[in-house]
Amino acid sequence: MNTLFLGMSSRNTEQYRSTNTGADEFQWRLLNGLSVAASPENLTSFRFAPMASFPKANAPLCVPTQSIDNNLINTDITFGYINLPIIKQLQRIGVFRKNIRNWLETHEGEKNIMVYSPYLPYLCALKPLRRKYNFKLIVIVPDAPGKFGILNGNALKRAIVTMWGDLAIAQCRIADGFILITDMMKEPIRVGKRPYIVVEGAVDLLVAHIPQNTITVNAQAKKVILYTGFLKEMFGVLDLVEAFEQINRDDYELWFAGGGPAAEAIEQKARVNPHIKYFGILPHDDVVNLQLQATVMVNPRRNNGIYTKYSFPSKTFDYLASGKPVVMYRLDGIPKDYDEHLFYVNGNNIADLKARIVEVCEMEPALREKIGKGNAEWVTRTKSYIVQGERIYEFLCREDKYTQYNSNR
Q: What is the pLDDT of residues 331-380, one digit of tens each?
A: 999 999 999 999 999 998 999 999 999 999 999 999 999 999 999 999 99
pTM over 0.85: yes
pLDDT for 214 beyond 70: no
Distance of CA 35 to the CA centre of its chain: 19
Angle at CA of residue 159, ends 157 and 161, nearest 5°: 70
Residue pLDDT, tens place only, 9-27: 887 766 655 444 678 888 9
Q: Which residues make beta-bridge pairs with 66?
A: 78
109 closest CA partner among 137, 73, 135: 135
38 close to 393: Cβ distance less than 8 angstroms: yes
pLDDT for 216 beyond 90: no
The whole-number pLDDT of residue 206 equals 66
Position with higher pLDDT, 395 vs 407 = 395
For the chain, percent of residues with pLDDT exceeding 90: 65
What's the rounded Cα separation, in Å, for the pair 259 and 229? 7
What's the rounded Cα separation, in Å, for the pair 218 and 296? 11
Residue pLDDT, tens place only, 109-157: 999 999 999 999 999 999 999 989 999 999 999 987 777 767 677 788 7
pLDDT for 288 beyond 90: no
Q: Residue 113 burial (CB < 10 Å; 0-12/13-18/19+)?
A: buried
